[in-house]
Chains A and B, each alone.
Chain A
Amino acid sequence: MASENEKDACCHPHKWLDRYGDRLYRHALFRTGNPAQAEDLVQETLLAAWHGRAKFSGKAQESTWLYAILEHKIQDYFRQYSRSPQNSRLDVNDLDPDIENAVFQRDGAWSVRPGSWGRNPQEDMESKDMLRILRECLRALPELQRSAFLLREWYGEGAAQCASALSITANHLSVLLHRARLQINRCLGAKFVEGENE
């Protein structure tokens, strides 16, 4: 049982807004590409965190706990959004429950050889479609894979940190990251460099 003081110290919503507001906002903006929507998502996240503060165990870091709530909110947002037909088609095609079997043949060789793209991240980042493509490829990932991937690659958290934030083992984390990378790699290969000659 935490004393009132400890509780105050751990769960003061204004402190959350000051400390994590921008970080949560950037994440929401990156994922949705919509500033007004991103602001709403931050507000919803902080409110949900406030109402659910009794459930915060203190085991995970406060920032990753808030991130997990935001991730759920973003998910809800996309669920509503993807009901419109032009967006749902993409998800179904890209969501592959067993990516390894899709990408590799039985003997362990690549089914489709990786393309020749991926030489210049600086330059490719400037491509105006890059953000849209990244968003779409991220959306196509299963939830836990996406959380693992984003914590690691976007937030730059260490592997141990990611595993404890997601309450999974180090082994499970490496499986998730591996699958997420294969999936994103394939998605990028299809969307970013469609039809490029080798």
Chain B
Amino acid sequence: MIKRLMLTCRDAAKLLSISQDQSLSHREQWALKMHLLFCSSCRRYARQLRWMDQLFHLAAGRWSTFHLSPEARKKICTRMEEAERESLEEPSSAED
């Protein structure tokens, strides 16, 4: 993706983001490593990206304890059944 041997911070930030989602080519890995060796700003950004990733992961995990209440579930269910009935009563509108 990035051909230059010497990366700018702008290039490095992009590669850091990509590396969160997929593996970089050897060339990219090497160029990024070299850049990070000399650039404390990008090292900070790299750390913050990992922090963000972990934070959202933690937040999502915390949310796993929340459930729709039985009352809400029932209410939604009733409303869905109404919608189903309505659509049965007017068969012409949906498909075809």
Contacts and interface: CB of A to CB of B under 8 A. Distances in A.
Contacts of B80: 13-14, 17, 46-47, 50
| Chain B contact surface mostly | helix
B37 interface: no
| Chain A contact surface mostly | helix
A112 B14 CA distance: 16
Contact of B41 (A26, A113, A121): A113
A32 interface: no
B45 A185 contact: yes
Given A47-B79, A153-B53, A185 B84 contact: no
Contacts of B42: 114
B54 A22 contact: no
A114 B45 contact: yes
B83 A25 contact: no
A182 B14 CA distance: 9
B47 to A, nearest CB: 5
Interface residues of B, number: 47
Contact of A181 (B44, B49, B57, B64): B49
A110 B55 contact: no
Interface centre among B49, B55, B79 (most CB of A within 10 A): B55
A110 B35 CA distance: 14
A154 B84 contact: no
A26 B57 contact: no
B5 interface: no
Nearest to B53: A153
Interface of B: 8-11, 13-14, 17-18, 20-22, 41-42, 44-45, 47-49, 51-60, 62-64, 66-69, 72-73, 75-77, 79-80, 83-84, 87, 94-95
24 contacts: A17-B76, A21-B73, A22-B68, A39-B69, A47-B80, A50-B80, A50-B87, A51-B83, A104-B9, A107-B8, A118-B44, A119-B51, A121-B55, A124-B51, A134-B55, A153-B56, A159-B22, A174-B17, A174-B22, A177-B21, A178-B14, A178-B17, A182-B13, A182-B17
